[in-house]
Structure 1
Amino acid sequence: MSDVIDTAQTQSELILEHQIRQATQKTSLPTRTHCIDCDEPIPLLRQQKVTGCQRCVACQTDFEKQNLRGV
């Protein structure tokens, strides 16, 4: 039984490390002034704080939800 738990823990740690790397990795995409999905302006503060942002908050939220579901 402990082998299954150890394996799950190791897998969980690897996934977390991957997610941290992805979140902190610098993007080479330029920051956009308008969302690539809805073409609404992206607030200046978001442009300054999120390097390489491509979507407004609402569209980014939808995009991440779809990716979590595997859509």
Structure 2
Amino acid sequence: MATGWAGDTAVQDQIDATVEDAIKRARSRMPSGPGLEHCEECDVPIPEARRKAVPGVRLCVACQQALDEEAAFAGYNRRGSKDSQLR
């Protein structure tokens, strides 16, 4: 489909560039380097397999899971508020 001065693949090129930028940004925020041998929260030894699998790891599995669950808590019921708007 012709779009004036833009090439036929201009839209897809823009989408690809946006996705690549998002991937680069996400990778830059990931921890890197050697991980800790003991959890910084509870001082439990972190297994070598976890340190190899997750570069820059700082927490044991249990502490990381607790942190993830805490971050996932929204604080209110979004579905309930949507249902009440539909009435």
Identity of aligned residues (%): 35
1:39 alignment partner, SS class: coil
Larger fraction in helix: 1
Q: How many residues align?
A: 54
Q: TM-score, normalised by structure 2?
A: 0.49
CA-atom RMSD in angstroms? 3.0
Q: Return the match for 1:69 from 70, 73, 77.
A: 73
TM-score (ref. length: structure 1): 0.59
Q: Say if 2:31 and 2:56, in contact at 8 Å, map to a contact too.
A: yes
Change (3 A) 1:68 1:49: same
Partner of 1:31: 35
Instruction: Say which one has the larger Rg.
Output: 2
- How far 1:28 moved relative to its partner? 4.1
Shift in CA distance, 51/57, structure 1 to aligned 2, threshold 3 Å: same
The one-letter amino acid of 2:64's match is Q
Query: Which structure 2 segments of 5+ residues have no match?
Result: 1-21, 76-87
Higher relative contact order (CA 8 A, sep 6+): 1
For residues 50 and 33 of structure 2, what CA distance do their matches in structure 1 show? 15
2:45 alignment counterpart = 41
Which runs of 5 or more residues in structure 1 are unaligned? 1-17
Which residue identity is paired with 1:44?
A: E
